[in-house]
Amino acid sequence: MREKIIIVDDDTETRKLMVQSLLEHGYEAVGYAHSGQALVGFIHSYDPDLIILELSMPGADALNLCTELRKFSDKPVLFTSHHTDDYLRIEALNRGADEFIAKPSCFEVLLARIRAHLRRYKRAFPVNQRHLILYPGLQIDPTTHSVIAYGKEVSLSSKEFRLLVVLAKNPNRVFPTETLYDLIWNDMKHGDIRTVMVHIYNLRQKIEKTPREPLYIHTVRGAGYKFNGSVSLMTESLDA
């Protein structure tokens, strides 16, 4: 099966040339001129192996798109741009990009970087584990909507599961309660955001060994909630 690559670039000539060149090198490649929610939805369903974003698109669309992608995808994201502004490069990496490639750059260099990131991703995520979110004592499978905590499968509601995935895919990122509500209950704009607190409580009861002293989901007083990204270092007594 050919690896799938999406190129998002508003320069028609550049976009078409990159798509054609990648096709000639054995990849399945598609190009888009603009980012936006329609593209986010397509990427979610198409599930590409790698995404290339042109940073110079108007309205910081590429940066915003990268932020959205990192809510559901851990696939490699490469930024390309003529910009030499260090702030933009740093911001791209902070938003979740894996690499920033300055233009002009010959296609052979870009191709080499693509191959390197695809190899790295395959090593980090074997085929049989590629969709799993793994932490010590916790396994989350977004493809089957299943969760195993401390060796036992737990039953979560659809909202609880989506909430857990958003937090676990963004370790150490603090999510305000309002943001979590908008992400998970986006079809209920005028509901009660206190439902987030109820679902966090229920999640802790189901996945935490000691819910009153949670290992995974932490409350950041006055700010919101975050998933403990240091849990991978805290393996002692997890199997006790």
Taken in order of first residue, the domains within the chain and their CATH numbers are 4-124 (3.40.50.2300), 133-227 (1.10.10.10)
Give me the chain's average pLDDT, please. Answer: 84
> How big is the chain, counted in residues?
240
Q: What's the mean pLDDT in 216-225?
A: 94
With vertex at residue 139, the alpha carbon angle to CA 134 and CA 143, rounded to the nearest 5 degrees, is 95
Whole-angstrom Cα distance, residue 98 to residue 103? 16
3-state secondary structure string, 40-93?
HHHHHHHCCCEEEEECCCHHHHHHHHHHHHCCCCCCCEEEEECCCCHHHHHHHH
Report pLDDT digits (tens) over 24-69. 999 999 998 876 777 887 887 788 999 999 887 655 578 888 888 8
Report pLDDT digits (tens) over 76-134. 999 988 876 788 888 888 888 999 888 877 889 999 999 999 988 887 665 555 567 88
* pLDDT for 148: 93
Band of pLDDT at residue 75, cut at 50, 70 and 90: confident
